[in-house]
Amino acid sequence: MNVHDSEKIAGILEGMGYASCDSVENADIIVFNTCCIRETAEQKIYGHIGAVKNLKRKNPNLIAVVCGCMSQQEGVADKIKESYPYVDIVLGTANLNMLEQAIVSARKKKKYYNVDFMQYREEDFNQSRTSYPNAWVNINYGCNNFCTYCIVPYVRGREHSRPMQDILREVRQLLDDGYEEITLLGQNVNSYGHDLQEGETFAKLLHEIGKLEGKFRLRFMTSHPKDLSQDVIDAIAQHTNICDNIHLPVQSGSNEILRKMNRRYTREDYFALVDKIRSKLPSVGITTDIMVGFPEETEQDFEDTLDLVRRVKYSSAFCFVYSRRKGTPAYSMENQVPYAVKKERITRLLACQNEVTKEISQTMVGNCYEVLVEGANFRYQNTMCGRTESGRLVNFKCDDSYIGKFVTVLIERASSATLWGKIVKSED
Ligand code: 5AD
Ligand code: SF4
């Protein structure tokens, strides 16, 4: 979501005639697109903003912009105004379209602070695309779920679906422009359409895109387990261009912790959902987000998470240490878990998922998979990488003329998370 927001920021600036440069010393505008989901990201950004003071001494015409979800947090815009007066523009997550106007005003030395929730339309400005052959497409914004640890509903506002016709128009244009992979984005894609007309659901959107002509892949993220419907699973099964790959954050394997997190499912519900998905999509890759160290998490709760990870067999997992966010209910919960315990648990969780990934990787060796070539793996010479339909990253030797092509790769070896193979067939 944040990467795509940065593409929008870049698009607006390019539309005004700016071009990107590779050093802050040479910049006329510096934009900080911030994230506040965890504390570490937030701390880093204040350090970077502080460094603007010196840069401005050297270049008084430099324009500094802070946007993204951090600026939307209560009190942050005022804090920036007071403690970082050299920041010219503060914008929120929903009013990026004001950036052009804000820069025009900053050029006249007039500051612009606006963090109102006034959801822009994607069509209101140009977007720069940086992830060919993939293109990101927003389908809904904000979140109504209020998981007790999460700041997102406060900084991205209430759920709001984009009109289906607008999404379809954007997707058709991207396919005409040559993108081979579309990734639909929303905090909770499965609740797409709740605020639209009857029948405008996420499953319907998948069918409409799945029906489009031409060879391309469709992915989406993120799915909340409580809202993933049978209709969506059926749509994935019906259309070959919708990838058998579901990002299904579980967060914890303990019922007690899930309840305290306000996730509104139990581990049994989750297992039943995974069974339902796998019975319809046998080669599906399921990925997840997991958190350790939520307040009051006991050793037994954590063991339940490890047990769930072993049983579900995720193809990969983003594992996080719980970070206390001011303004969320979990912030004031008693019995916060000490950092040393969190650290020990994350190490064990990562090791556990590593074992699972290794096991899955071994079963892939000797088989062929269709891969969309995404780009170079710069750590190795003449090596490109791409993903299988299920979302696993594969490395193979070829030159960059293959980027954007579908190839068939024979997996030759696996080193835990990384798969290595060779191209055995390529389109044209
Ligand atoms: N601390 C740690 N991780 C968090 N996430 C959301 N809020 C927090 C927090 N306070 C994680 C969740 C979510 C992912 C995007 O970030 O796992 O799924
Ligand atoms: Fe945060 Fe929960 Fe909404 Fe995801 S569903 S954005 S974790 S509140």
How confident is the model over 276-313, as pLDDT tens digits? 999 999 999 999 999 999 999 999 999 999 999 999 99
What separation in Å is there between the alpha carbon of 307 and the centre of ligand 2?
23
Residue 328 CA: which ligand is closest?
1
Peptide bond into 133 cis (omega under 30): yes
Beta strand ranges found along 269-338 (DSSP E): 285-292, 316-321
Q: Residue 113: beta bridge partners?
A: 90
The pLDDT of residue 97 is: 92
Q: What is the pLDDT of residues 364-404, one digit of tens each?
A: 999 999 999 999 999 999 999 999 999 999 999 999 999 99
Statement: the pTM of the whole predicted model exceeds 0.75: yes
Query: What CA–CA distance (Å, rounded) separates 111 from 323?
Result: 33
Residue 416 has pLDDT above 80, yes or no: no
Is the CB of residue 235 less than 8 Å from the CB of residue 120? no
For residue 1, what are the CA distances in angstroms to 134, 184, 185, 266, 331? 14, 10, 7, 27, 24
What separation in Å is there between the alpha carbon of 302 and the centre of ligand 2?
21
What separation in Å is there between the alpha carbon of 227 and the centre of ligand 2?
12
Peptide bond into 266 cis (omega under 30): no
| Averaged pLDDT score across all residues of the chain | 95
- Tell me the mean pLDDT in the region 161-186: 98
CB-CB neighbours of 365 under 10 Å: 14
What lies within 8 Å, CB to CB, of 212 at 6+ separation is: 171, 172, 175, 241
Residue 41 has pLDDT above 90, yes or no: no
Q: What is the pLDDT of residues 54-105, one digit of tens each?
A: 999 999 999 999 999 999 998 999 999 999 999 999 999 889 999 999 999 9
Of ligand 2's atoms, which has the minimum distance to the CA of residue 187? 6
Residue showing tokens 């160290």: 293
152 lines ligand 2 (CB under 6 A): yes
375 lines ligand 2 (CB under 6 A): no
What separation in Å is there between the alpha carbon of 229 and the centre of ligand 1?
23
Nearest CA to ligand 2 atom 2: 147
What separation in Å is there between the alpha carbon of 55 and the centre of ligand 2?
37
187 lines ligand 2 (CB under 6 A): yes
Is the CB of residue 95 less than 8 Å from the CB of residue 116? yes
Q: What is the pLDDT of residues 207-226, one digit of tens each?
A: 999 999 999 999 999 999 99
The pLDDT of residue 118 is: 85
Q: Distance of alpha carbon 64 from its chain centroid, rounded?
A: 25
Nearest CA to ligand 1 atom 7: 150
Peptide bond into 222 cis (omega under 30): yes
Residue 272 has pLDDT above 80, yes or no: yes
